[in-house]
Amino acid sequence: AEHQHARYNPLRDDWVLVSAHRVKRPWQGQLEKPPPEDVPRWDPNNPLCPGATRANGEVNPQYEGTFVFPNDFPALQPDAPEPDDSDHPLFRAAPARGVCKVMCFHPWSDLTLPLMSLPEIRAVIDAWAELATELGASYPWVQIFENKGAMMGCSNPHPHCQVWASSFLPNEACLEDRTQRQHLSQHGVPMLLEYAEQEARRKERLVVENADWLVVVPYWATWPYQTLLLPRRHVCRLQDLSDSERDNLASIMQRLLIKYDNLFEVSFPYSMGWHGAPTGPYLEEDCRHWQLHAHYYPPLLRSATVRKFMVGYEMLAQAQRDLTPEQAAERLRSLPEVHYK
């Protein structure tokens, strides 16, 4: 808690430098602007609102629950041409195809997941599972992710996420596939199933738990209040969750996200995403080494206005954090589960 040391991340096969003493240093750097509290519930000029016109001229339906539509500015398209052959091994290219979708969580722009009801959050989870099944029937990787808050690059305050399905396994998926496969081969148990059991027993990094799930600040966390959401049983993919597991997932997500908002009494920014076993052609393969999990990466460090920047040493050497994961977990764990609003 007082001295610098390095911690190993077995999921990424890398290290993070923990420098707990640095959290005491005075801050004279960038101060962020807290997110606005006066977001209108409905705005005809907001392209994610019911009945609004999007950039491509399409008009959204008057949806009352979740709403999924193709991204008007997709990073991946299904009919991209093959790249030219390389004339040198240092100049390689590969085909990249896919589809990108946007999913609105709720018709109201002034709501976020922690302010939604449990049935509304459960509807989001069901829609995630449906998309994972639909797109995963043909695509090897389906990445569900949410960028919350302008600080994390979200350009629209309406509650929504994105779903990108790709014809290839992205870098993080390939890395986690390799490390989890190696762990199962060497130890005979899925890495994150064993890790969840260890964290549930030790409790020092535990934030919230219920019958089916637990949330921890991982031992190797990089971001100040980073968390890892894990199921208690061995489950490979989001679409494999039972009804009760989906209900308890809605509950634990709400509890975690309320704590996040209560930490600095602000709508807490983060990037989050689900990782599970690959799909498409991998549905016929043995993927027992995979364990479903969700990563939450929030940038705020000391207050609603002071964030952690991943620059300098982090970009050129290795990840570094000031607050220990145990300190972060204790602070999150002690927060109330009634939203400050």
Residue 313 among known ligand-binding residues:
yes
pLDDT of residue 166: 98
pLDDT in tens, 98-134: 999 999 999 999 999 999 999 999 999 999 999 999 9
Residue 182 among known ligand-binding residues:
no
Residue 314 among known ligand-binding residues:
yes
Cα separation, 34 vs 151, whole angstroms: 9
Residue 176 among known ligand-binding residues:
yes
Residue 337 among known ligand-binding residues:
no
Residue 309 among known ligand-binding residues:
yes
pLDDT of residue 231: 98
Cα separation, 273 vs 251, whole angstroms: 17
Residue 209 among known ligand-binding residues:
no
Per 3-state DSSP, the chain is made up of helix, strand and coil in percentages (nearest 5) of 30, 20, 50
103 near 66, Cβ under 8 Å?
yes
Distance of CA 320 to the CA centre of its chain: 20
The burial of 335, by beta-carbon neighbours within 10 Å (0-12 exposed, 13-18 middle, 19 or more buried), is given as: middle
| Residues of the chain predicted below pLDDT 70 | 23-31
50 near 61, Cβ under 8 Å?
yes
Sign, CA torsion 212/218/219/220 = positive
Residue 154 among known ligand-binding residues:
yes
Residue 24 among known ligand-binding residues:
yes
- Domain annotation for the chain: domains and CATH numbers: 38-81+93-334 (3.30.428.10)
Residue 55 among known ligand-binding residues:
yes
Residue 72 among known ligand-binding residues:
yes
Per the annotation, the verdict on 160 as an active-site residue is yes
pLDDT of residue 1: 74
Bridge partners, 272 (sequence order) = 146, 296
Residue 65 among known ligand-binding residues:
no
Q: Provide the 3-class DSSP secondary structure of residue 331.
A: helix
Burial 131-160 (b: 16+ CB within 10 A, else e): bbebbbeebbbbbbebbbbebbebeebbbb
**Residue from 3, 5, 106, 160 carrying the catalytic annotation:** 160
- What does the H/E/C string look like for 142-181? EEEEEEECHHHCCCCCCCEEEEEEECCCCHHHHHHHHHHH
DSSP notation for 85-136: PPSSTTS------EEEEEEES-S-TT--GGGS-HHHHHHHHHHHHHHHHHHH
